Amino acid sequence: NAGVTQTPKFQVLKTGQSMTLQCAQDMNHEYMSWYRQDPGMGLRLIHYSVGAGITDQGEVPNGYNVSRSTTEDFPLRLLSAAPSQTSVYFCASSYSRGLAAYNEQYFGPGTRLTVT
């Protein structure tokens, strides 16, 4: 199993550009989530999904969109990049019982995004 994969590993964008960060998992996990991590800070939840076709907002959803058309994939779209979105983005997945992430989360290697 590859676990959780993320592409690209690094990305530089100009202000106003849009892009999609890819995330895929091959563990048949129902729960997937996106976090951002700023220097010296913890992980802040952007969006999450409890299954295909279901998404919900986390703590910091503004400027980001997600969709979940399959169990395996959970892309994160930046609509119009801003310097404040410079961060490291982690995707995570978990086997969930019911609607909550009651089990360990498996994190991808991250995407380091810089917006100039």
Site residues, other proteins (CB under 8 A): 33, 35, 40-45, 48, 50, 56, 58-59, 90, 92, 99-110
Nearest approach, Cβ of residue 27 and other proteins (Å): 13
Integer Cα distance of 110 and 90 in angstroms = 5
Nearest approach, Cβ of residue 112 and other proteins (Å): 10
Identify which of residues 17 and 106 has a Cβ nearer to other proteins in the complex. Answer: 106
Identify which of residues 28 and 103 has a Cβ nearer to other proteins in the complex. Answer: 103
Identify which of residues 78 and 110 has a Cβ nearer to other proteins in the complex. Answer: 110
Nearest approach, Cβ of residue 25 and other proteins (Å): 13
Contact indicator for 76, 23 with CB cutoff of 8 Å: yes
Distances (CA, A) of 94 to 27, 34, 102, 112: 9, 12, 8, 22
